[in-house]
Amino acid sequence: MAYRRAVNLLPIVKECLVQKSPNVISRTVRLSIHCDRIRRTLHTGAPLMVAKLLTVDEVFARRSLQEYLKKMETEYGECLKEVNCGVTEEQCSEDKLRTRRIRVSQLTPLIQSIRELDTKHREIAETEKLLKDEDPALRELAELEREGCLQHIQDLRQKILDLLIPEEEADLSDLVLEVTAGIGGQEAMLFTAEVFDMYQGFAQHQGWTFDILEHMTSEIGGLRHASASISGPQSYKRMKFEAGVHRVQRVPKTERQSRMHTSTMTVAVLPQPTEISFTINPKDLRIDTKRASGAGGQHVNTTDSAVRIVHLPTGVVAECQQERSQLKNREKAMKALRAKLYSMKLEEETSKRYNQRKIQVGSKGRSEKIRTYNFAQDRVTDHRIGMTVHDIKSFLLGEDLLDEINSSLQEFSNQETLMELLGENSQEDS
């Protein structure tokens, strides 16, 4: 289905200017793709720090990038020499050799691309000499060759930049999505229900599975709180930028005098670890069962199907009453609990924050926002990158327009990571 896209990148034309904020909230994650520990910043509730979105040519024109690539080549050569020389155990421990082999395998794609790029630069230099030849046919052939080389160079440069950007361990995870109504009473709950439906549509649009874990409705059909497990390729990597406070400005259905109201809701996105990457000791759990609350019926209020699990060392709680089966509710509650504990574990490892969910949710205030949905102006604005799209109804379907903003956030995040990497390198060299 085709949707109207009246996209207005506020200060973004080609350079996408964004204001730098002194109040940037960042999360630091240690990454293993580079030999030294690299800090990866993920912004959840404040503008990104990138001043502008650079082109590939602008990035390659930076001296810091060229110095960093040379540093990687030097490191690759040293590691390869140690691995191939067959040094004795007295000279180098087995663990150190293993580390060097891993490093060589990590750097090989990058180094191959750098060398291929150097080869293409030499080829284009030779081709440009032929452009001065007296033979018109030869000049025409050289021009075609030159255009092909230039395109190949652009592709290689983009590939090199992609290889420099580390993957977060959590990027490979599935996720648990939590939405909670904030300030605004019943209107906030109605908006929370719309946003939850939007993410269900987004999951369907991406081909992911969307499994509801909790769903606490309000009296008039809104949502007080809900959570869902989302699984699929790159699900957490794409959804992590949705975490934070979302603000809606509109005339509520409950408003009799047609006054504009501002309400908020919050989104938390928690990476869902696998059984292998994160385990929980069963002795640390207290599992309670109770009768599910709801509209009634022959089953829902007559059996102890609802499950509440408490992780005793941390006090973290997860509940589920969506299924008729106690066993299924227990499985879903464990999935939610594991995601919450894993999120806390990530924050502890970075020594920056103790609870990722707390960072993402914030205080739920109207001023703490990552995105505004203004119905009167029919626009959605993401304040982190200053990007506005129109047609709220299409946006809330969770399809093309949400995908568009999400992709832009990924671009800015990637460049911010790269600039931070190069900035650190410059400081080390100075």
pLDDT at 211 over 70: yes
Helices (runs of H) and strands (runs of E) counted in the chain: 10, 14
pLDDT of residue 8 exceeding 50, the answer is no
The closest of 194, 198, 242, 200 to 218, measured between CA atoms, is 194
Q: Which CATH number fits domain 169-410: 3.30.70.3270, 3.40.120.10, 3.30.70.1660, 3.40.190.10?
A: 3.30.70.1660
> Given this model, what pLDDT does residue 235 score?
93
Helix, strand, or coil here: 149?
helix
Q: Quick: pLDDT tens for 272-286.
A: 876 556 678 888 899
SS3 assignment, position 298: coil
pLDDT at 66 over 90: yes
Give residue limits of the domains in the chain.
Answer: 56-164, 169-410
Give the integer Cα–Cα distance in Å for 50 and 243. Answer: 19
Q: Is the pLDDT of residue 41 over 50?
A: no
pLDDT at position 238 is 92
> How much is the pLDDT for 168?
77
Chain segment 16-26, per-residue pLDDT in tens: 333 333 333 33
Averaged confidence pLDDT in the chain: 79
pLDDT of amino acid 128: 84
User: pLDDT tens for residues 415-427?
Assistant: 888 888 887 444 4
Of residues 346, 345, 175, the one with CA closest to residue 270: 175
Map residue 16 onto helix, strand or coil.
Answer: coil
pLDDT at 42: 38
> What percent of the chain clears pLDDT 70, i.e. is strictly above it?
75
Residue 344: its pLDDT value, please?
78
Nearest alpha-carbon partner for 173 in 48, 311, 29, 71:
29
Q: What is the pLDDT of residue 321?
A: 85
Which pLDDT does position 139 carry in this prediction?
82
Residue 24 falls in which region: left (phi positive, over 0), alpha (psi -120 to 50) or beta: beta
- pLDDT score for 12: 34
* Residue of 224, 220, 117, 124 lying closest to 163 (CA atoms): 117
